[in-house]
Amino acid sequence: MGSLKENKYKIVKNFLTVEERKLLCNYTEIKHATNQKEFDLVQSNTFDTKFYGDPIMDSLLLTKQKIVEKEFGGDLKPQYSFWRMYTRCAILKEHIDRPSCELSVTVFLGSDGTSWPIYMGKQPLELEPGDAVVYLGSEIKHRREEFTGDWHSQVFLHYTNANGPYKDIEKDGRNYWGLKRNAV
């Protein structure tokens, strides 16, 4: 496979250690089971749990910054994290990301074992738990077809180029890590 700049995406095997993956997968399973209000009914008609700026995931965003910078080949500014527990019939419509997601990382935490590739352009990518796709989120269209399993847990880490056109964006407009946008 070519470089991130050539293809606009790159798979990073074992982005998470086994321990990190188990911790985060267990965390998302527990949060999903106890969730009563954080559902995404906009992107699909399922009861997918979603959390923006979750403190543990924002911590992951900060912790993994150097690894992502190595893949990117330059300095980055962390913006925000977002995680989802996808459920049966979920669909990720084809889209490109907003400026705060200039460089995005999709990390596969775990699932019920059902295959569910992410498409970068027309290319389907299969990940193993703990693997990630680093991609130019505001440049390459990405999507997923309808999910046929019971659950699939992903975390998304978003960065901007510290020397690029979105360098003035700070924490995706938040005052502190671990908050939603426009929260005090």
Mean pLDDT of 21-32: 93
pTM attached to this predicted model: 0.91
**Beta strand pairing call for 151-161 and 76-87:** antiparallel
3 — pLDDT class (breaks 50, 70, 90):
confident
DSSP-H helix ranges across the chain = 4-7, 18-34, 55-63, 65-72
Of 110, 111, 50, 112, nearest to 81 (Cα)? 50
